[in-house]
């Protein structure tokens, strides 16, 4: 339970920091930063869990389908 809570809070905080960098306006940058422990958690779970997959939009042509025999 503790690991799940740590992971959830870290993902939420990293997401908030990421969103703050994309905001427009003339205000000061967010003072919120990840702690050393949170950085290690992010290294374990990966940034993709927070930011999503970067790159091209999903295209079904990149998916390789395996033929599966159908038995009646």
Q: Give the tens place of pLDDT for each residue, 1-41.
A: 888 898 889 888 888 888 887 777 767 777 788 899 998 88
Give residue 36's pLDDT: 92
Q: What DSSP assignment string belongs to 1-68?
A: -HHHHHHHHHHHHHHHHHHHHH--SSSPPP-----HHHHHHHHHH-THHHH---SSPP-GGGPPPPP-
**Residues 6 or more apart in contact with residue 34 via CB below 8 angstroms:** 10, 13, 14, 17, 42
């Amino acid at each position: 339970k503790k690991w799940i809570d740590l992971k959830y809070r870290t993902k939420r905080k990293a997401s908030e920091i990421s969103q703050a960098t994309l905001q427009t306006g003339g205000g000061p940058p967010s003072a919120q930063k990840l702690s050393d422990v949170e950085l290690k958690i992010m290294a374990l779970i990966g940034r993709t869990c927070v930011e999503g997959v970067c790159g091209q939009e999903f295209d079904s042509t990149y998916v390789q389908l395996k033929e599966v025999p159908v038995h009646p």
